[in-house]
Structure 1
Amino acid sequence: MLKGVLIDWGGVLTTSLADSIAGWITEDRIDATHYKDVMRELILHAYEGGDGESVIHALERGEISAPDFERDLAARLVTLDGVPPVAEGLLARMFVGFQPVEEMNEMLRLARTAGIRTCLVSNSWANDYPRHTWDGLFDEIVISGEVGMRKPEARIFHHALGLVGLPPEECVFVDDIEANITAARAIGLVGIHHRDAPATIGELEGLFGLSLRS
């Protein structure tokens, strides 16, 4: 019997990362092709098991500061004017387009009302999370940079499960990154690969046997 939901934030409870990044690329006049090449290498290494550690591993665990990461990333990128973008505030500009997806937030409120334990499990890029809007959403909150662990490391899932007091087989994990879903399933969680709110909510309704829409 399922009793809990572990869920990602960016791109799941918010509008898509791709849309926010696209807006930033236009606003900061970033060379989009070069950006995609740089980020493909960094993300594949961070999430698909590349050898050694990277700046993304360090940022997500809170081992380096946002300004240090911004300087590193800015130095790798180039604008259409042929110079690196301004490093200061780069992360805030990248994520400024995030908007809450109210259907997903309402789903969590209804789930908690029904007695389902809920836990945010988010990899932080020094995000300024809108915690003031989270009343009624989560029993527990796990932010990677605050706990020194990151997805897809198994230990962050075990940490979250310990907080909600449930074994993995009694919890669903929702994320928009396939590597994180694979890691969660490997320790016994039921994984849902989020693509859009209606599909994810429908899957959760089927798993829990509950209506999770207003």
Structure 2
Amino acid sequence: MAGFCTKLGIRPQQMLAAMEKVADSYGVDLLAPLDTPLITQEEWSAQVEAVLRADEAVEVDLSDFPARWFEGRTANEPWVGHLRRLSARGVFVGLMSNMVPAWDAHWRRVVAPEGLFKDLVMSFEVGSRKPEPGIFRVAEERTGFQPHECVLVDDIEKNCAGAREAGWHAIHYTDPARAIAELDALLGASRPE
């Protein structure tokens, strides 16, 4: 967020406050208007621009937001490499994401899902998002796994809390080495894979 806002010429706090105000107008949290989706990327961009103009007296151009957001991003190679090794060992590796429809093609250029993920559960496709219980139920139905057989690794603690409430294991991702160690310990204790 900091790097993106620097390119726009605004402070991250200004952007986050505008995003929050737009989300509040729909009665949802920060990105829920986009990733369930309640509105299109273009509508969201225009609404955030309007809030920044009205509340901060700042003019920004959020057109083509997804391409600009993902510009220059690279994969987290230690984490992706570990997921590839787990998948090669026969561990079911899936992706569950609060994904904005307009962002879908962009993240796929950073981390190609083919050969890495056995299934993708995207909020915009299933109409539920983390930490809501519905998205976890969809993943269970599609994979055939029971809740206690599933692990969510997520960088947002409230999503981890939602997974735990749904009966899943959860690892709060803060850095690759720690997440890898925690996941390996959990998988070691829960054989068969």
Q: Partners of 2:7 and 2:99 in 1: how far apart?
A: 23
Tell me which amino acid in the other structure corresponds to 1:154.
P
Matching of residue 28 in structure 1 with residue 8 in structure 2: yes
Q: Partners of 2:166 and 2:13 in 1: how far apart?
A: 37
Match of 1:202 among 178, 181, 184: 181
Determine helix, strand or coil for the equivalent of 2:151.
Answer: strand
Tell me which amino acid in the other structure corresponds to 2:132.
E
Paired residues in the alignment total 183
Match of 1:130 among 87, 108, 123: 108
Deviations 1:36-80 (A, max 9, x none): 43446677x6xxxxx9346732311123211111111122225xx
Q: Partners of 1:63 and 1:84 in 2: how far apart?
A: 25
Q: 1:160 maps to what in 2?
A: 139
Deviates more, 1:181-190 or 1:63-72: 63-72
Following superposition, the deviation at residue 180 of structure 1 comes to: 0.6
Paired residues of 1:63 and 1:148 also in contact (CA < 8 A): no
Normalising by the residue count of structure 2, what TM-score does the alignment of the two structures yield? 0.83
Paired residues of 1:74 and 1:85 also in contact (CA < 8 A): yes
Q: 2:61 maps to what in 1?
A: 86
Unaligned stretches of 5+ in structure 2?
A: none
Q: Partners of 1:96 and 1:76 in 2: how far apart?
A: 24
Q: Relative CO higher for 1 or 2, CA cutoff 8 Å, sep ≥ 6? A: 1
Tell me which amino acid in the other structure corresponds to 1:149.
S
Q: 1:8 maps to what in 2?
A: none
Matching of residue 146 in structure 1 with residue 121 in structure 2: no
Determine helix, strand or coil for the equivalent of 1:130.
Answer: helix
Q: Partners of 1:100 and 1:84 in 2: how far apart?
A: 31
Q: Which has the higher helix share?
A: 2
Determine helix, strand or coil for the equivalent of 2:107.
Answer: coil
Q: Partners of 2:6 and 2:86 in 1: how far apart?
A: 38
Normalising by the residue count of structure 1, what TM-score does the alignment of the two structures yield? 0.75
Match of 1:96 among 46, 71, 88: 71
What is the alpha-carbon root mean square deviation over aligned residues?
2.6
Matching of residue 56 in structure 1 with residue 47 in structure 2: no
Matching of residue 177 in structure 1 with residue 156 in structure 2: yes
Identity value in percent: 34
Determine helix, strand or coil for the equivalent of 1:142.
Answer: strand
Unaligned stretches of 5+ in structure 1?
A: 1-20, 46-50
Paired residues of 2:19 and 2:48 also in contact (CA < 8 A): no
Tell me which amino acid in the other structure corresponds to 1:74.
E
